[in-house]
């Protein structure tokens, strides 16, 4: 058997399609000792494997990962296009900030793409454009098309894809598959019609695979409605709000978490509008969620 090195491009039913640097494709299974160690190869992993022919390989070892996502299960991700719907499902700063925190923690560069911008009124669009500007000022790359999936926004996206492993993510029904279909029409990914009764989409993508696109790799990944994050300690949460990091060196106390401490430099920046109020409010919410400080009680049981 010959040993090879390559990257997993597809995971399906215990089999892994691996592409070598020379462009050769092999199908392999994972050796049993991975299961004993509770390690599972992921799409995006760089692996060493042995094979005698194209479809009888065995994965021997997995290189150290730069990062990994659980939903979707992908490793070594460089950037994420966060498809953010503004209507059906309506815009949620809470969901967007959850996604951004998760990506910051994994050291994945977010690109925010607002979708369905032509479904809202002119006034609502102007408000949303101001929100988009706020995220730009926070330090994020933001794409806000006047018309969903217009050529200008698609060109901006295409320019970001070469030499990167990119994940498209966002709430189910936000338009991820539609966006990918506009980028590469021949993909013809199945798009899910948003259920009007539930106001959330049906899952349409059932496997994870890497698609070669514009000299880069794109993960075609399942949609989701929720985003479970917050594995970090509450005191670390501040590091994942990148605009806070510009002001925190000026806080009076090292380790300031920008809540009740005197001499905090972040709170005045919120009050002056340099930091979006919605970002700070979500930070407070997330902090409380991590701390678990909010007691769960019946409102009738409150002590007066």
The reply to whether 238 sits in an annotated binding site is: no
pLDDT value for 70? 79
Is 118 within any annotated ligand binding site?
yes
CB atoms closer than 10 angstroms to residue 204: 16
Annotated binding-site residue? 177: yes
166 annotated ligand binder: no
CATH number of 234-291: 1.10.40.50
CA–CA distance, 145 with 120 (Å, rounded to integer): 12
**Phi, psi dihedrals of residue 226, rounded to the nearest 5°:** -120, 170
CA 129/CA 107 separation, integer angstroms: 26
SS3 content of the chain, % helix, strand, coil (to 5): 30, 25, 45
The pLDDT tens digits for 104-150 are 999 999 999 999 999 999 999 999 999 999 999 999 999 999 888 99
Q: Is 171 annotated as a binding residue?
A: yes
pLDDT at 19: 96
Q: Is position 197 annotated in a ligand binding site?
A: no
The CATH number of the structural domain formed by 69-220 is 3.40.50.300
What is the predicted pLDDT for the residue at 196? 39
Fold agreement (2-64, 69-220): no
282-304 pLDDT per residue, tens: 999 999 999 985 555 544 444 44
Query: Are the beta carbons of 113 and 169 closer than 8 angstroms?
Result: no
Is residue 117 part of an annotated ligand binding site? Answer: yes
- 51 among annotated binding-site residues: no
Under 8 Å between Cβ of 279 and 266: no
User: Is 292 annotated to bind ligand?
Assistant: no
Phi, psi of 180 (to 5 degrees): -60, -40
pLDDT of residue 13: 84
116 is in an annotated binding site: yes
The yes or no reply on domain 2-64 and CATH 3.40.50.20 is: no
Strands (E), the chain: 2-12, 15-20, 25-30, 46-51, 57-62, 68-69, 74-75, 79-85, 109-115, 141-143, 165-169, 208-213, 216-220
At residue 60, the pLDDT reads 95
At 200 the three-state DSSP class reads strand
Does the annotation place 221 within a ligand binding site?
no
Q: What residue ranges do the domains of the chain occupy? A: 2-64, 69-220, 234-291
Cα 34 versus chain centre, distance:
27
**CA-closest candidate to residue 182, choices 79, 83, 75:** 83
According to the annotation, is 2 in a ligand binding site?
no
Nearest CA to 6 out of 248, 200, 21 is that of 21
Is 174 known to sit in a ligand binding site?
yes
Global pTM reads 0.85
**303 labeled part of a ligand binding site:** no
* Residue 216 is labelled as binding a ligand: no
Residue with tokens 């460089």: 78
Give the residue ranges of the chain where pLDDT is below 70.
189-207, 220-229, 293-304
């Amino acid at each position: 058997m010959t040993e090879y090195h390559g990257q997993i491009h597809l995971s399906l039913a215990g089999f892994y399609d691996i592409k070598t640097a020379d462009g050769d494709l092999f199908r392999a299974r994972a050796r049993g000792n991975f299961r004993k160690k509770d390690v599972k190869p992921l799409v995006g992993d760089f692996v060493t494997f042995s094979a005698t022919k194209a479809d009888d390989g065995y994965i021997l070892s997995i290189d150290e990962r730069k990062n990994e996502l659980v939903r979707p299960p992908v490793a070594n991700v460089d950037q994420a296009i966060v498809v953010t719907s503004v209507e059906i499902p309506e815009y949620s700063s809470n969901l967007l900030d959850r996604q951004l925190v998760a990506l910051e923690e994994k050291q994945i560069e977010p690109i925010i793409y607002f979708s369905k911008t032509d479904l809202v009124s002119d006034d609502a669009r102007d408000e949303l454009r101001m929100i988009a500007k706020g995220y730009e000022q926070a330090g994020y790359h933001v794409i806000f098309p006047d018309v969903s999936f217009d050529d200008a926004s698609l060109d901006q996206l295409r320019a970001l894809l070469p030499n990167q492993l990119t994940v498209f993510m966002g709430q189910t029904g936000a338009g991820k598959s539609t966006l990918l279909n506009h980028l590469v029409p021949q993909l013809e990914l199945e798009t899910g019609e948003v259920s009007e009764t539930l106001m959330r989409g049906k899952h349409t993508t059932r496997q994870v695979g890497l698609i070669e696109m514009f000299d880069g790799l794109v993960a075609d990944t399942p949609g989701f409605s929720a985003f479970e994050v917050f594995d970090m300690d509450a005191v670390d949460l501040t590091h994942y709000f990148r605009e806070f990091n510009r002001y925190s060196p000026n806080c009076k106390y090292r380790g300031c978490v920008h809540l009740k401490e005197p001499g905090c430099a972040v709170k005045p920046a919120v009050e002056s509008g340099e930091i979006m109020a919605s970002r700070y409010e979500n930070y407070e919410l997330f902090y409380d969620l991590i701390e678990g400080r909010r007691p769960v009680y019946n409102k009738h049981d409150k002590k007066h």
